[in-house]
Structures are given as structure tokens and as C-alpha cells.
Amino acid sequence: MKINIVNIFEKTISEAQLHITDGFIKDINITGPENPALPYALPGFTDAHVHIESSMLTPAQFARLAVVHGTVSTVSDPHEIGNVLGMEGVEFMINDGKRVPFKFCFGAPSCVPATIFETAGAIIDADQVGQLLASDDIGYLAEVMNFPGVISEDPDMMAKITWAKHYNKVIDGHAPGLRGEAAKKYASHGISTDHECFTYDEAKEKIGYGVKILIREGSAARNFDALIPLIAEFPEKIMFCSDDKHPDSLVLGHINALVKRALALNYDIWDILLAACVNPVLHYSLPVGLLRKNDPADFIIVDNLNALNVLETWINGSLVAKNAVSLIPDLRSAHPNQFVCKPKTASDFVCKNEKKEHSKVRVIEALEGQLITNEIITDAERHGDVILTDPDDDVLKITVINRYENAPPAVAFIKNFGLKQGAIASSVGHDSHNIISVGCDDESIAMAVNMIIEAKGGISAVGNKKKHLIPLPIAGIMTDADGYEVAATYTLLDNFVKEELQSTLQSPFMTLSFMALLVIPSLKLSDKGLFDGENFNFIPLSL
């Protein structure tokens, strides 16, 4: 194969003959200087932190879509399915990923359940984390979200970290907004990364504590613009990741999109390729080739280094994508699940005033492009002792329903979804994946929720006398259906929510899924009640 070889380590481009034998690069014979008439070979891209489950696709289906964009590997935290099915869920992800030519590095989930303030489907304790880390199939200790537990040296959290150190495996971090001595102490326990920084100053400070920063650009959380200047100052400390990416976004692009954006901003191409290709492989000791002699033949071919359009993707010497067409087969998977709650009625979602006298109400403020939320204190519409939604003022009802047992729904209020009628619902509700719904009225919420209960998992929307559902039969969070078909169906559903229900959010379902994520401040809702993410305690709706 005659081609231009992009050597990121030496920062050179040369015409060369590439020889591949038995899945490895047998030799690279340099035949001359760069030849612009030839395409360019460079190491494939790695997503340094992603929850495959958030694509709503199995690993096998995710890989089919990702390779088209030049992605050859991911650092994948199976935390989501772990919270539903425990060890069985982690094993499902590993085994499903092995069925396709793609390099998944799965981690041992460190926080299952994520908190004691919500109902999850499983527990993965310290001994089980140790069992996982002992396996060659597990590459690292996945994001340590319980940063208060690390700082206070909680015995269970320390035991998991100790197992990671025992097996000499990387420890991933997760500490949004943590600064100063608390951040320094958190990092001192071996925390090596953070993908939750949302300001330049926060990220730069954490780099000073020895932490590598993952620049995240997903379907909901987008921190690229705030953090990309770091790449010029700390090129060896930066990686790219998506964290959570819906199927329609994955069809359009992956890590390649971040590379192109950074190039368009005139950052140095060698620094960009370090972040996209090299740094994750070295940091996580991934079995991924970097276009060197005797490396696995994992590489991509692009038209040039300006447009950077991916022409081919190769993994272990096999062509897996060519001219924007995936060559990975469309495979069906098993359907493990845990979904036992019963249908609800509109009366289940009625919200009564917690206080006799007139009182104000706490409202969750969702923020575009962020996982963090704000708390708003407002007067609410009432009818007697019942607190009402106010779609005209964009104050809607939010509910979280325990899907693992029958229990009364938790109900609160939320702003910035913008719905003018109907409701949306999802059983993708980080981290415990209970059912979460936002709507304008109780009848619509009950309808959207019951569609998911009947399907034992999915995302739904109702309104304008229409109903839409995408079933997610695997753990209530994934499907093994063809990824491109899922993406097309999701696009129709997303457009319905934006155009007919009039949501103002760019990714309403992804944003919805994070409104139950208690470890991200400041105000969230669990199936047990309204939660203060700053002080880690439940708080009343009315005050």
C-alpha cells in the first residue's frame, strides 16, 4: 500500500510503502517526501470516555457507526448498564463488543449504585470491582463520581481505588466544579483524568494537580469551546471524548468532528492528533496501533490533512469502513432486562402543596449544553392545594418513577424544556435509569410513561394527538436494531418534540436523561424526591 504516512511522534509526513501481515504492520518503507497526490494514513481516533449505552445502541451497533468516522477504539464506562443489571450488565457489554472488529476498553464501574439517594437495579461492591479489575477484559477503574467519598476517604471508595492500584490500572475521575484543596486531595489519591470541567480555569488548575483533561463534546454536555485553548499549552495532557452521544449525532460525526473544529481554529495539527489518536492509547495502555512498525494495523486513510475526510478505516489489518460505508456486520444481541413497575394514572402525578399557607416553589433550571442545573425560586400556579404547571411561563412538571418496584412517583417542576403541549419520557435516566418524564399536563405524562412501561424500556413523546416510541429492550436503555435505522427514527422523534411540542432544547431527550443525575449539581430529581446536589441531601419542593 503506497501512501503518505503521518508520523505523529516525529512530526513528519513521508511517502511510504505500508506492509501489513497477519494484522500487524510488518514494515514501513519510506520512498520519498510527502506526495500531495496520495491520500494520508494516520492512527485511528479514540474516544477517551464514552458510555456506549447512551447511544441507545449495543457495542456491536455502536462500532458499525463509529468506524465510518475513523474511530478505532473507545474507553467505555459500562456504568449505565451496571446500575441496571450489575455484573451481568458489564459482562454483556464485554461479550457483545468482542463480536465485532473494534477495540473497546471497558472499565470497572466504581459507583453502582451512584448514590444512596436513588433506587438502582444492582450493586457492584468493592470485592466485585476487584474481580473485574483482575480481568484482562477490564482496562481501568471507571469514573470515580463519589468525589466526596474520596476526599473523606470513605472505606468502600478507598477499597475500590486500592484494587485499581493493586492491578496497576488507571483511575478515571469525575469532579465537576471541584477546586482548591478539595480538588488537590481528590487527585492525590491517584485520580488521573477529569471529563467534567466546564471552565478553562478549573481544567488548568486540575492539570496542575497532575490530572489529564478530557475535552467533552457530546449530545448534551458541550465543553469544547471553553477548554480547547488548553491544547496549545498542555498538548500531552489533553484528550477528546463524547461521554454521551445519541445515535443521530453519531451518524453525523464522532471524534473526527472535534479534530476538524480544532483545525478550523488554527491549532497545531500535531497537538490535535496527539489528543485524538495518541494520548488515550498511551494513558490507558490500549492495544491499539499507532502506525509504527510491529504495531497492530489500526489506522485510517484520509484525503488530506485540511479537509480530513475519512476514506478508509482499518482495524487489525482488516478494512472495516470505506467511503462512508461501514463494513461491520449488522448483528442482533441478547435482551437482558429488569423492568417490573406497573402502569400509572394521571392522578399519580398530581402535586399537592407541602405547606398549608401560600408558599414559593423550587424549580429545576435545565441549561443548554450543560449537565449542571440551577435552582429557581418562584411563585407557582395553583388550584386549591394542587400546584400546576405553567407552559406559558415554561414551568413544566418533571417526574421520576422507580422502575424496579412499585412506588409513588417523585414529582417536581422544571424550566427551559419549552414544551407547549404533551410530554416526553425516557427510561434512560442517569444514573439509575428509572423512568423520567417532563410534560405540560398529568394525562400526557401518564400516557408517555405507560408507553415505556409497556415496552419495558424506551423513549417516548405524546402530543398533538400523536404518539411516538423507540423501544429499548436491552436493560431498558439499548436496542440491537440497526444503528442507522435507530438514528433515523430518533431524528423523526426529536423533530416531533421540537417542531410540534415546541421544545427549545437542542437535545431534549439527552438533557432529560441527566435531570436525575444527582452527582451533578445543583438541583435534580430522584425517584425518592427533590435533591440538592451541592449539599447531597433531599430538600422540600415548597418553601
pLDDT digits (tens, 9 = 90+) for 1-19: 899 999 999 999 999 999 9
Per-residue pLDDT for 370 more than 90? no
Nearest C-alpha neighbor of 253 from the set 210, 308, 172: 308
User: What integer pLDDT is reported at residue 144 of this predicted model?
Assistant: 96
CA–CA separation, 404 vs 436, rounded Å? 13
User: What integer pLDDT is reported at residue 381 of this predicted model?
Assistant: 83
Nine-digit cell string for 188: 492525590
Q: pLDDT grade, residue 319 (50/70/90)?
A: very high
- Placement of cell 456504568 in the chain: 79
Instruction: Name the percent of the chain lying above pLDDT 70.
Output: 99
- Residues written for the chain: 543
Per-residue pLDDT reduced to its tens digit, 253-293? 999 999 999 999 999 999 999 999 999 999 999 999 999 99
Pick the CATH number of 47-284 from 2.40.50.140, 1.25.40.10, 3.20.20.140, 3.30.70.260: 3.20.20.140
Per-residue pLDDT reduced to its tens digit, 48-81? 999 999 999 999 999 999 999 999 999 999 999 9
Classify residue 276 by its DSSP letter: I
Domain ranges of the chain: 47-284, 346-538
Q: Residue 383: which residues within 8 A CB-CB, separation 6 or more?
A: none
Per-residue pLDDT for 303 more than 90? yes
User: What integer pLDDT is reported at residue 107 of this predicted model?
Assistant: 98
pTM: 0.94
User: What integer pLDDT is reported at residue 488 of this predicted model?
Assistant: 97
Nine-digit cell string for 524: 435534580
Per-residue pLDDT for 219 more than 80? no
> Which of 4-8, 320-324, 334-338, 358-362 shows the lowest mean pLDDT across its residues?
358-362
Instruction: Name the percent of the chain lying above pLDDT 90.
Output: 93
User: What integer pLDDT is reported at residue 356 of this predicted model?
Assistant: 58
Work out the average pLDDT over 500-525.
95
Percent helix / strand / coil, the chain, rounded to 5: 30, 30, 40
User: What integer pLDDT is reported at residue 502 of this predicted model?
Assistant: 98
Per-residue pLDDT reduced to its tens digit, 379-417? 888 888 899 999 999 999 999 999 999 999 999 999 999
User: What integer pLDDT is reported at residue 380 of this predicted model?
Assistant: 81
Mean confidence (pLDDT) of the chain: 96
Work out the average pLDDT over 171-194.
97
Work out the average pLDDT over 164-169.
98
Cα–Cα distances (Å) from 382 to 206, 271, 352, 388, 396, in that order, read 46, 57, 9, 5, 13
Work out the average pLDDT over 310-314.
98
Per-residue pLDDT reduced to its tens digit, 427-444? 999 999 999 999 999 999
Our CA dihedral for 316, 322, 324, 325, rounded to 10 degrees, sits at -90
User: What integer pLDDT is reported at residue 352 of this predicted model?
Assistant: 86
19: helix, strand or coil: strand
Q: pLDDT grade, residue 358 (50/70/90)?
A: low
